[in-house]
Amino acid sequence: MRNEHKLRAQIRTLVDGGATGLAILSTILVVAPLVAIFIYLVYKGASSLNLDFFTQIPKPEGEDGGGMANAIEGSGVLLAIASIIGVPMGIAGGIFLAEFGRGTKLANAIRFTADVLNGVPSIVMGMAAYSLVVVPMGHFSAFAGGVALGIMMIPTVCRTTEEMLLMVPHSVREAALALGVPNWRSVLSITVRTASPGIITGCMLAFARVAGETAPLIFTALGNSYSSANLNQPIAALPLQIYVYALSPYDDQHRLAWAGALVLIALIVIAVSLVRYVTSRGVLKGAS
Amino acid sequence: MGVGIEVTTLNAWYGTNHTLQDINLNIPANHATALIGPSGCGKSTFVRCLNRMHETNPIARVTGTVRIGDVDIYADAKPVEIRRRVGMVFQRPNPFPTMSIYDNVAAGLKLNGYKNRQALDEIVEKSLKNSALWDEVKDELKKKSGASLSGGQQQRLCIARALAVDPEVLLMDEPASALDPVSTSKIEDLIFQLKSQYTIVIVTHNMQQAARVAEKTGFFLNGRMVEFDSTHKIFTNPADKRTEDYITGRFG
């Protein structure tokens, strides 16, 4: 009897160790590609990073040097337009799905549409923006690129907002209603506020995803070899510039493409951390 | 000051489930009234009908009349107006997790557009004093989150939040059932102090608690009110056999 007990305990320890080992291995497998990509980017791109890269516009083909100042600016402009379009519309949609339209046919239709939209290839988004914005306007523009990216943000923001709102405990909503607060006010001031850390994460995910998109910009923002502050004109973007340089026959441009990719990832990381830092400062000690 | 509550042929349903059947009851002003009964007997549903929270559930339905003071709450008023006059404290403490202690107490007023800062400061202080929490939190009112307090403190915070909107009636749905004995006795002391200013209706599973805090007690069973009388009478000489069986612990 005693021996049997001992044996079982040993088997348990063994199985426990095995399961923990598997979990650690899987984690490493998941993180490894990310780390590998980053190391390779640093290895290939860091040597071309200098002040010129951030301050100069591209040199004519064949000439060495030059930078991507216009592309960095352009990506900033495009992402700003995209966020102005995508974040409010996505959040508003998510609030409708979770709070006001729960169980209605309209809400189910919207949820289904958002899921389908999420799966639409990004080049199709570019074509949609091309026919909706570029064709009526008659020319490529920063605005059209921003619209394409903005539409791509909507489903992610919308669905994460919905999920996060549904995670707010029922007791918190009841507390607000029992104080005589009207439902709309309770939703905006209590439920959305309680869910805001998750909603912000959703917005950041959507932002990071579209920041690296190339395909939807090909027919919309087009790209530009010069700096442009005009939303009505074609504009450069980091992913576009990387794409063009990576296909070029010149070694120097290849190096710049690697540096561009490194900068793109670094900028996304910085932007996401910055938003998290700023928004977490308002949160109180001990909350959540 | 508190006002009396007059309930006439109140019926309530969840879907097809007839949870409350023909309840008639007069709850006196400025007293504590306890509702006891086994789980699922309808006492929580009953208090939720007194501030129209019952109907926030989409499948819920209610008929009959409830008069609070001079107002027939189902005929003459909107739910939000009623809920400002009838405060509620729930079974589990439910402070707003992202708000400071101060904002939790001020929430009812702020969310209804009340802006006078100085008056808000006074109301928050008064409410926290009334709920016996002031001394424990006064130094960290705006720094600490309501969710960082202990369970008992959170429940007193919720009471302060309900008091801040200056209700006439305070409904308490098993306010101490999730708390330890020390916190429970604090809540009971509080009910004792508050009942001179508010009409208090408290749902409880704890019969000693009902005996300690309430002048009147109602016994609910299977969606009906079996007996309603002075607490002393209910616990010493109940008129109904079922009440006696319940308080002597033969079921429930």
CA-to-CA distance for A244 and A253, rounded, in angstroms?
A: 9
Cβ neighbourhood burial of A183 (10 Å; 0-12, 13-18, 19+) = middle
pLDDT higher than threshold 80 for residue B134: yes
Q: Distance between the two ends of chain A, CA-based, in angstroms?
A: 49
Mutate to test the interface with B, among A100, A179, A285 (most CBs of B within 10 A): A179
* Cβ count near A225 (within 10 Å): 17
Cβ contacts below 8 Å, chain A against chain B, sum to 91
Partner B contacted by A176 (CB < 8 A):
yes
Q: Is the ipTM of this complex over 0.85?
A: yes
Q: Which of A171, A181, A285 sits opposite B90 (nearest CB)?
A: A171
Q: What residues of chain A, 185 to 244, have a C-beta less than 8 Å from chain B? A: 185-186, 189-190, 193-194, 196
Nearest chain B residue to A280, by CA = B98
Q: Which of A261, A211, A230 is nearest to A82 (CA)?
A: A211
Partner B contacted by A124 (CB < 8 A):
no
Nearest chain A residue to B114, by CA = A181
- CB contacts of A178 in chain B (<8 Å) are 51, 53, 83, 87-88, 90, 162
Query: In this predicted model, what pLDDT tens digit does every residue of B179-199 receive, in sequence order?
Result: 888 889 988 999 998 999 999
Partner A contacted by B143 (CB < 8 A):
yes
DSSP chain B: ----EEEEEEEEEETTEEEEEEEEEEEPTTSEEEEE-STTSSHHHHHHHHTT-GGGSTTEEEEEEEEETTEETTTSS-HHHHHHHEEEE-SS----TTSBHHHHHHHHHHTTT---HHHHHHHHHHHHHHTT-HHHHGGGTTTBBGGGS-HHHHHHHHHHHHHHT--SEEEEESTTTTS-HHHHHHHHHHHHHHTTTSEEEEE-S-HHHHHHH-SEEEEEETTEEEEEEEHHHHHHS-SSHHHHHHHTTS--
- CB contacts of B59 in chain A (<8 Å) are none
Whether residue B187 contacts residue B155, with contact meaning beta carbons closer than 8 Å, is answered with yes
pLDDT of residue A283: 53
CA-to-CA distance for B107 and B227, rounded, in angstroms?
A: 38
pLDDT of residue B29: 93
Partner A contacted by B77 (CB < 8 A):
no
Bridge partners, residue B60, by sequence? B14
Q: Do B145 and A286 touch (CB under 8 A)?
A: yes
pLDDT of residue B95: 94
For domain A54-284, is the CATH number 1.10.3720.10? Answer: yes
* A53: its two tokens: 């890269």
Angle between helices A238-247 and A69-95 (to 10 degrees): 130
Maximum alpha-carbon separation in chain A: 87
- CB contacts of A279 in chain B (<8 Å) are none
pLDDT of residue A285: 43
Mutate to test the interface with A, among B73, B96, B142, B169 (most CBs of A within 10 A): B96
Query: Taking the model in full, what pTM does it have?
Result: 0.84
Mutate to test the interface with A, among B44, B49, B94, B170 (most CBs of A within 10 A): B94
pLDDT of residue B245: 92
Which whole number is the average pLDDT over B171-178? 91
Q: Which of A264, A265, A242 is nearest to A254 (CA)?
A: A242
pLDDT grade, residue B87 (50/70/90)? very high
- CB contacts of A185 in chain B (<8 Å) are 111-112
Out of A57-71, B49-63, B93-107, which region has the weakest mean confidence (pLDDT)?
A57-71
Pairing of strands B17-27, B5-14: antiparallel
The phi, psi pair for B237, rounded to 5°, reads -150, 65
Percent of chain B with pLDDT over 70: 100
* Per-state percent for chain A, helix, strand, coil, to nearest 5: 75, 0, 20
Nearest chain A residue to B144, by CA = A285
Rounded to a whole number, what is the distance in Å from the CA of B250 to chain A's nearest CA? 33
Q: What angle do CA A58, A62, A68 make, to 5 degrees?
A: 15
Q: What angle do CA B22, B25, B30 make, to 5 degrees?
A: 155
Query: In this predicted model, what pLDDT tens digit does every residue of A49-71 receive, in sequence order?
Result: 888 888 888 888 777 778 889 99
The phi, psi pair for B32, rounded to 5°, reads -100, 130
pLDDT of residue A286: 42
CA-to-CA distance for B64 and B23, rounded, in angstroms?
A: 9
**Beta carbons within 8 Å of B240's beta carbon, 6+ residues apart:** B219, B226, B227
Rounded to a whole number, what is the distance in Å from the CA of B163 to chain A's nearest CA? 10
pLDDT in tens, chain A (288 residues): 678 888 999 999 999 999 999 999 999 999 999 899 989 999 988 888 888 888 888 888 777 778 889 999 999 999 999 999 999 999 999 999 999 988 899 999 999 999 999 999 999 999 999 999 999 999 999 999 999 999 999 999 999 999 999 999 999 999 999 999 999 999 999 999 999 989 998 999 899 999 999 999 998 988 888 888 888 899 999 999 999 999 988 888 888 899 999 999 999 989 888 888 887 765 544 444
CA-to-CA distance for B184 and B151, rounded, in angstroms?
A: 10
